[in-house]
Structure 1
Amino acid sequence: MPREVKALFRDDAYLSTAEGTVSAVNDRGGIILDQTCFYATSGGQPGDTGFLERADGSKIAISATVCGENKDEIIHVPSNNQPPPSVGEKLVTHIDWDRRYKLMRMHTACHLLTVVCPYPITGASVGEEESRVDFDIPEMDGDKASVSAALMNLVSANHPVSTKWITEEELAANPALIKSKNVRPPSGAGRIRLVCIGDAASVDSQPCGGTHVTETQEVGDIHIGKIEKKGRENRRFRIRFGPLPAN
């Protein structure tokens, strides 16, 4: 039976360290705490890495964070050949903040791209240096330069980024909030987390469980490195940090 973990990152993506108590260690050595600031791989965003600090100061290196039987069960995967903690042991979680912050900036940039390109999303992957978003686009308007300029306009406007919760019934009544063509938000929990950009979500609002910055200016310089045609109506946009390189 899955163990529910309090996901501290859902309320504060900037929390890089927190205390937790070991509630279980699974048969593969995965460590489950009662609460954690570590994000588990989901929705195209990779899970956090870092370490768990024991009371004696020793560290358990964490190479990945994944979901268990559902998204509420968060499992910290230790690197090989480390002594496991005991159930009931108190640990302090430390995420690799530099890596997480890059992912937060990138994930926010992906949301901004869906504003610039308002087409059904067919796939996405968030990375530390490059991310991709795939869209169902029959005919492509614009190029790397024009899309990059539109992205930077949204970044520079420094729109606030926030989250809110709505009921599953509210989501069903507003199907346009779902931008993904093939993937629906997980149901059954009774509520859905929205990521909103702009005052009163004036720029964008969509279901997402990932981590993001709190204002678009934090994304920094961003550009489209490549636009690829993947099938008759599928276009892949590759987002990269830094200004658009001169031709």
Structure 2
Amino acid sequence: MKALFADDAYLSTCEATVTGIREDGGIELDQTCFYATSGGQPGDTGFFERADGTRIRIEGTINGATKAEIIHLPAADQPAPDIGETVTLHIDWDRRYKLMRLHTACHLLSVVCPYPITGASIAEDDARVDFDMSETIDKAEVTEKLMALVEANHPVYIEWISEEEFEANPDIVKSKNVRPPRGLGRMRLVCIGDQATVDSQPCGGTHVSETAEVGQIHIGKIEKKGRENRRFRIRFGEMPA
């Protein structure tokens, strides 16, 4: 299974060959542009187009036993393709692009708030990031700093490093509880800024190519979740007056 999204987050369609059908109906392919649920980012939805023009609606994408296995979950009433059949994949681009914008926004928030991350989750219209911190911080101030990074239009790009390089610099991981998958021989970094001057951290998710694409965002709420845990909610649009 070749995960095409890992190198090109803007690939919204591709052709693939069906390699397997699981007992639960999950479809396996030789390659895919559909992102599988991981790291707080939901898996892609969309449809497969068959040679005769009919469609198989995909309502979710998940990993199998390992990250290398990507399973496409059809809706309950959809037909099953044949093993060996070639299908054209179409992701729900509007949904994916919102997730990409918010995922990049989460990385920018981790720059503004340089604390260990204890959790994160991304939805279509907002995202949350939990930090191990006890400080009180003003959401308007955080929003201002976030938008400064967005408007600076820093490049966002992917780099691959070896596991040995990661071992030599383990502090690039900001998550307190989750470690990057090991045993693959290499690790994917999402870098922001020329020569990663703004940020660089292991991440398998999809991102925009420059920070200006994030658009107008604001911190909608900062919640206290325990003595040393704060939950920040990122939302699209300007901060309400």
TM range, smaller chain? over 0.9
Instruction: Find the counterpart in structure 1 of residue 151 from structure 2.
Output: 156
Q: Residue 119 of structure 1 aligns to a residue in which SS?
A: coil
Question: 2-side partners of 1:174 and 1:61: how far apart?
Answer: 43
Instruction: Find the counterpart in structure 1 of residue 95 from structure 2.
Output: 99
Is 1:192 paired with 2:192? no
Give % identity.
71
Instruction: Find the counterpart in structure 2 of residue 60 from structure 1.
Output: 56
For 1:92-130, what per-residue CA distance to the aligned partner results, in whole angstroms no more than 9, with x for missing partners?
A: 000000000000000000000000000000000011101
From 120, 130, 134, the equivalent of 2:130 is 134
Question: 1-side partners of 2:8 and 2:111: how far apart?
Answer: 24
Is 1:31 paired with 2:27? yes
Q: Residue 227 of structure 1 aligns to a residue in which SS?
A: strand
Q: Which amino acid aligns with 2:152?
A: A
TM-score between the two structures when normalised by the length of structure 2: 0.99
Which stretches in structure 2 are left out of the alignment for 5+ residues? none
Q: Residue 146 of structure 1 aligns to a residue in which SS?
A: helix
Is 1:114 paired with 2:106? no
Kindly state the Cα deviation for residue 245 of structure 1 after the two structures are TM-superposed: 1.0
Instruction: Find the counterpart in structure 2 of residue 169 from structure 1.
Output: 164
Q: Residue 143 of structure 2 aligns to a residue in which SS?
A: helix
For 1:165-199, what per-residue CA distance to the aligned partner results, in whole angstroms no more than 9, with x for missing partners?
A: 00111111111100000110000001100000000
Question: 2-side partners of 1:243 and 1:221: how far apart?
Answer: 6
Question: 1-side partners of 2:93 and 2:47: how far apart?
Answer: 11
Question: 1-side partners of 2:164 and 2:225: how far apart?
Answer: 35
Kindly state the Cα deviation for residue 83 of structure 1 after the two structures are TM-superposed: 1.7
Question: 1-side partners of 2:124 and 2:237: how far apart?
Answer: 13
Q: Residue 149 of structure 2 aligns to a residue in which SS?
A: helix
From 5, 10, 16, the equivalent of 2:6 is 10
Question: 2-side partners of 1:148 and 1:39: how far apart?
Answer: 29
**Dislocated runs of 4+, deviation >2 Å:** none
TM-score between the two structures when normalised by the length of structure 1: 0.97
RMSD: 0.6
Instruction: Find the counterpart in structure 1 of residue 175 from structure 2.
Output: 180
Q: How do 1:33-52 and structure 2 match up within 5 A?
A: 33-52=29-48
Q: Residue 39 of structure 2 aligns to a residue in which SS?
A: coil
Kindly state the Cα deviation for residue 138 of structure 1 after the two structures are TM-superposed: 2.1
For 1:175-233, what per-residue CA distance to the aligned partner results, in whole angstroms no more than 9, with x for missing partners?
A: 11000001100000011000000000000000000000000000000000000000010
Is 1:205 paired with 2:200? yes
Question: 2-side partners of 1:139 and 1:169: how far apart?
Answer: 35
From 75, 80, 84, the equivalent of 1:79 is 75
Is 1:243 paired with 2:238? yes
Which stretches in structure 1 are left out of the alignment for 5+ residues? none
